[in-house]
Structure 1
Amino acid sequence: MQERRESIVTSWIPGPILDRKRRIVVAVLSVMAIVFLGLSFMFPYWKVTLKAPQYPQGLHVYVYLNRVEGDTFEVDLLNHYIGMKKLEEAAKLERSLALYIVTLISLFTLFFVFSGKKVMSLFAIPALIFPIGFLLDLFYWLYRFGHDLDPHAPIRFKPFTPTLIGEGKIGQFATIGTLGLGFYLAMISFILVVIALILRFTVCNACPYKEKCSLVCPHLFLWPPRQHQEEKR
């Protein structure tokens, strides 16, 4: 019983002993990360709700990676009165490139599975910075829209930054900003890549060929390596 327990521990916990299971887990986690990131493209990453007495049901805007949906006409009309630009003018470049960016990140994550020790972190970085990059870019556009107001607008409004997450207020409107399902799916992808990266480090640190490893790992699913087997005999 004790031997069986030790066998399970050495198979899954980082240490000098490495088996094929951990390498396969890295590949499975990476593929799952790609799937979750791809699914995130289909759902909104951010949602904002505006509430006021004249809109008892509220106005809802959903921000996807490549488009903006919801009550955009009504919100654009309200924004016009305080000198804000139309929603469609925000992040035009980012939205036009979104599909290509997600595809490129997915390819990098796939390359991460087969990459050598010296470059594997580079292939994992895009998937790790993507959710954070989205939030930073969204905050930038919220700040820009709230500060780049038309001075000739019907209603003079003091520059402001709409609330990214949580409750805020714009004039007589109460706002609620929340992260959408798409962002949470991207975060799951982020977590899976982090776990896969940690496991890859344990895989590479225990590999007898780690010093000779280059761009591609030739022993990814072969364990123990032939040299190690011969030494054990």
Structure 2
Amino acid sequence: MQKLSKVLMLVGSLLLLLLFVTPLWRITLEAPQYPGGITMYIWINKITGDTPYTLQNINILNHYVGMQYIEPDSIPELKYFPYVIVAMVIFGVVTSLTGKRKLMLTWVLVMAALGALGLYDFYLWEYDYGHNLDPNAPIKVPGMAYQPPVIGSKMLLNFNAISYPYWGGLFLGLSMLMAATAFFIGKKKESKKEEKAVHKHSFATQG
């Protein structure tokens, strides 16, 4: 059990490295003029599209309704997120080598907190882009905001904005699940050890 717990913790923490090769999130805009949709991918260190011109096309659309241009180089989170992930991988590997349940629980809680903060930061980013509009935009609809959903779909004028986790987001969730499983397996083993110790003590007392 102890060996399985360590392996799960090790594999779970190393899964985070896949965030460097696949996006965390995907936002797709569907409209009659874009029958196939245009998709933007959000990574831990960059923002890309399904074509080399996706961001350019989205920024053109944003210009008409007064939204800010999406400029990945100006987003600070994309600069420090990679370091956070690397730090958590190192923390996870060290934890797997020690096999200490307290460190496993700490790793899971820290990752859960980082995930929650990341989603909240994503919401604030979308809110700013969708509400902080240029009053001189060519297209103005009173009371209209253009904030895409964090998860799900939402109609924005004639565009259907669809937002869901991508492979990186799924790997992140699987990483946390494996680490949590490692923690509970270790807990089960400790409970059995305590139970054996109680029986041994009881037997010695009776003797």
TM-score by length of 2: 0.80
Q: Give how far 1:95 is off.
A: 0.6
One of 94, 111, 114 as aligned partner of 1:127: 111
Matching residue of 1:95: 78
SS at match of 2:76: helix
| Pair 1:90–1:202, CA change in 2 (3 A) | farther
Any stretches of 5+ residues in structure 2 without a counterpart?
195-203
The yes-or-no answer on 1:72 pairing with 2:55 is yes
Q: Contact (CA 8 Å) 2:64, 2:137: kept in 1 or not?
A: yes
**Using the alignment, how far apart are the partners of 1:133 and 1:198 within structure 2?**
25
Q: Contact (CA 8 Å) 2:154, 2:162: kept in 1 or not?
A: yes
Q: Give how far 1:161 is off.
A: 2.5
One of 20, 35, 42 as aligned partner of 1:56: 35
4+ residue stretches of structure 1 with deviation over 6 A?
none
Aligned letter for 1:170?
L
| Pair 1:156–1:173, CA change in 2 (3 A) | same
| Pair 1:145–1:89, CA change in 2 (3 A) | farther
Matching residue of 1:155: 139
SS at match of 2:39: strand
Any stretches of 5+ residues in structure 1 without a counterpart?
1-21, 209-230
Matching residue of 2:201: none
RMSD of aligned Cα (Å)? 2.6
Q: Give how far 1:91 is off.
A: 7.5
SS at match of 2:168: helix
Identity percentage of aligned residues: 27
Q: Which moved more, 1:73-82 or 1:85-94?
A: 85-94
Matching residue of 2:198: none
SS at match of 2:133: coil
| Pair 1:180–1:116, CA change in 2 (3 A) | closer
SS at match of 1:47: strand
| Pair 1:90–1:125, CA change in 2 (3 A) | farther
**Using the alignment, how far apart are the partners of 2:123 and 2:192 within structure 1?**
42
User: Which protein is richer in helix relative to its size?
Assistant: 2
Question: What is the CA deviation profile of residues 124-159 of structure 1, one whole-angstrom value per residue up to 9, with x for unaligned ones?
Answer: 322333433332222221112111112222222423
Q: Contact (CA 8 Å) 2:31, 2:159: kept in 1 or not?
A: yes
